[in-house]
Amino acid sequence: MPDPAVPPTPPVLLTSLLAREDLSLRRIAGPEDPGTVVHWVHTSEMADPYPYLLGGELLLTAGVHIPEAAGSGTYFDEYVSRIVAAGGAALGFGVAPVHDTVPRALVAACETHGLPLLEVPPQTTFSGVARAVWQLMAQSRLAELRRVTDAQQSLASAASRPDPVPSVLRQLAQRLGGWAVLYGPEGAEIAGAGRRPGEEVRAALTRLARVVRPDGPAPPTGATPPTDSTPRTGATGTRPTEPGTAGPPNHPAPPTGATPPTDSTPRTGATGTRPTEPGTAGPPNHPAPPTGATPPTDSTPRAGAARSGETRAARAAAFLRPDAGGAPASQTDPGRPVPTSATDTAAGTHLAAYALGAGHGFVLGVASPQRAPGDHTVVSVAAVLLSLLTGEQQSGTGAARSSALVRLLLGAAPEEVAPLLGGGRWVVVRARPDGTGPADPVAASALGAALGSALVDPAGDVVRVLVPAGRTPAPLPGWTLGVSAAVAPHDWPTADTQAARALARARATRTPLLRHGPRPALADLVPPGEAAAHAHALLAPVAAHPALTETLRTWLSLHGSWDRTAVALSVHRNTVRQRVTRCATLLETDLDDPDVRMELWFALRRL
């Protein structure tokens, strides 16, 4: 459950409040830290407001509580020290009607204790300051929602690119201003993007990824995995800036029509009350401490600067260090609940790890120099997209595919196992990435998902996909595809050959997709047995050299083009010339004669 001390909206920079010309606030003491934030506004005329503060407040006072002889004693020093101990963000002193100027002793005390002191002019009401804070919070929330929406759209666009996984990681790293990495089931880095951090940060992120992996280290008894719902230790207190969900990071602003505080409204604090938190139904007054309870002191941890408690780094370390008995933390407990996300901090860098999919072992890790309120939502969107890209897209159940594989390995015919995969006719798709190098397993899985099949074989430079004939393959950016004719399961090997030849022609002609399209021809008039016998007799001199046979077939299919044949076979054009010349010599024929070419092509199709 959310921490009840968490404010419902993003905090406001104190500098933004000072920049409001309608308030005319003036800083007259304390540090000028641009990172000082205000979580809410509270008015109190108590001599000791400590029991009524949660931390992060801009405390407003008109000085009603100040005794006449306060300037000659330690009153102001004790007053300011108690505000600082409670985690107050700043103090606003209203000039008039009680005091014409801010007491010098109060200014000196704020300088001593490092508490920003603001002068509130007579024309500015305390309720006006509170209203300005809420307006700034609403503006901040709107800007945050726009940022999250833009990030969602850009991540979705990245997921539709030819290289979806690297594109999503690059976009995520750009949005976070850090590093994004995808870990495989074995824990190795599959892909990464952004500014690569140092060795210490990378090692810490790798250890954190083990926490959310299904076979990661078992947490010690009673330990709570660090997640985004764990309170964050900030400069002004332990308060999370966003909920641990994938929804909007903050609660909605106050409803339209809510009555803002006015000068006629009794200011909270004059009678020892505290502001009621939005969304709570509890009593408005802060409960008094029980009799005999130890009053809070400066050494007592509170929700402000002194309320930090245990950090996420310490809790994350508890998952990774050996226990008291010396057993390594890598020992696993199959029955333990595995967190889906975990956070930590290393070398001043914020770390987070997210488990992808339903137990496949992929993990998304991010390292960023700072943690903005909407970052968790942005990373959650990326995690969902990566889960879809790395997950198993099934054309049947996983059990059915496993059964089909076992039957094939044990000698069953393809037509016997095909019904387990859905039955019907099939096409073989051979694909090759347009870039250099072979396709990685993640890209191959994404290709299968795009084609609508999980039967993917990333074999070297070429990816083979077995696709049901009812799903017509379409051109895919970043890939060159060769598609076979639709065949029955017993003709799968023939379809694979057709797809290979179609892919070679597609690469040679720079066509994104080429289909094998058989049609009736004069060659069909010759009985298959006689045609095969003639082909073996004619091509016997070169049949013992597969490289020569394949080169001759490709060269003839591309109308004798040396360059296109070289591209299709991934060899140098001079190699093509040498092989074709060798074929002409072995066959003792003139390959420039069109009749010879026609006869050889007829034979090669039957070989």
Q: Give me the pLDDT at residue 295, please.
A: 41
* pLDDT score of 93 more than 50: yes
What is the mean pLDDT of the segment spanning 160-185?
Answer: 86
State whether residue 11 is helix, strand or coil.
coil
Angle at 311 between CA 306 and CA 314, to 5 degrees: 140
Calculate mean pLDDT across residues 91-98. Answer: 91
Q: What is the pLDDT of residue 522?
A: 57
pLDDT grade for 397, boundaries at 50, 70 and 90: low
123 vs 236 pLDDT, higher one: 123
Span 106-134, average pLDDT: 94
Residue 236 in this model has a pLDDT that exceeds 60: no
Residue 39 Rama label (left phi>0; alpha psi -120 to 50; beta): alpha
Residue 206: is its pLDDT beyond 50? Answer: yes
Greatest mean pLDDT among 126-130, 222-226, 369-373, 543-547 = 126-130
Separation of alpha carbons 515 and 531, rounded Å? 25
Angstrom distances, CA of residue 365 to CA of 150, 181, 361, 595 = 21, 5, 13, 63
Q: With cut-offs at 50, 70 and 90, classify the pLDDT of residue 361.
A: confident
**Average per-residue pLDDT in the chain?**
76
pLDDT(423) > 80: no
What percent of the chain has pLDDT above 70?
A: 74
The mean per-residue pLDDT over the stretch 579-590 comes to 92
The model's confidence at residue 321, banded by pLDDT at 50, 70 and 90, is very low
Of the listed ranges 121-125, 272-276, 336-340, 565-569, the least confidently predicted one is: 272-276
More confident residue, 437 or 3: 437
Q: Which of 4-18, 83-97, 220-234, 335-349 has the highest mean pLDDT?
A: 83-97
Are residues 60 and 128 in contact, defined by beta-carbon separation less than 8 angstroms? Answer: no
Instruction: Evaluate if residue 235 carries a pLDDT over 60.
Output: no
| CB-based contact 219:336 (threshold 8 Å) | yes
* CA 462 and chain centroid, separation: 29
For residue 518, the model assigns a pLDDT of 65
Has residue 429 got a pLDDT over 90?
Answer: yes
pLDDT at 554 over 80: yes
End-to-end, the C-alpha distance of the chain in Å comes to: 71
pLDDT at 445: 77
Average pLDDT of the residues in 216-242: 40
d(CA 483, CA 429) in angstroms, rounded, equals: 5
Nearest one of 443, 441, 442 to 433, comparing CA atoms: 443
Give the C-alpha distances (Å, rounded to integers) separating 440 from 33, 110, 127, 190: 48, 61, 61, 9
More confident residue, 161 or 309: 161
Q: Is 61 helix (H, G, I), strand (E, B) or coil?
A: strand
pLDDT the model gives residue 336: 58
- Please compute the mean of the pLDDT values over residues 77-101 and round it to a whole number: 93
pLDDT tens-digit map of 477-504:
888 999 999 888 888 888 898 999 889 8
pLDDT at position 359 is: 54
pLDDT value, residue 508: 82
Q: Is the pLDDT of residue 304 over 70?
A: no
Task: Please determine, for residue 567, whether its predicted confidence score (pLDDT) is greater than 60.
Answer: yes
The pLDDT score that the predictor gives to residue 217 is 52
Share of the chain above pLDDT 90, in %: 27
pLDDT of residue 118: 96
Lowest mean pLDDT among 399-413, 421-435, 454-468: 399-413
Higher pLDDT, 260 or 415: 415
Q: 79-89, pLDDT tens digit by residue? A: 999 999 999 99
Which 3 state secondary structure label does DSSP give 164? helix
Q: What is the mean pLDDT of residues 257-281?
A: 38
Decide: 595 and 556 in contact? Cβ < 8 Å.
no
Say yes or no to pLDDT of 360 above 50.
Answer: yes
Instruction: Give the 3-state DSSP-derived string for 99-131, with helices as H, strands as E and coil as C.
Output: CCCCCHHHHHHHHHHCCCEEEECCCCCHHHHHH
Residue 251 or 433, more confident: 433
The yes-or-no verdict on residue 276 having pLDDT over 70 is no
Bigger pLDDT: 73 vs 544: 544
pLDDT score for 303: 39
The pTM of the full predicted model, rounded to 2 decimals, is 0.47
Tell me the mean pLDDT in the region 387-397.
60
Instruction: Order the strands of the 26-29 sheet from edge to edge.
Output: 26-29, 117-120, 90-94, 57-61, 40-43
What would the mean pLDDT of 13-23 be, rounded to a whole number? Answer: 92
The top-scoring range by mean pLDDT among 71-85, 225-239, 393-407 is 71-85
Judge whether 274 and 42 are in contact, CB under 8 Å: yes
pLDDT bucket at 8, cuts 50 / 70 / 90: low
CA-based max dimension of the chain: 122
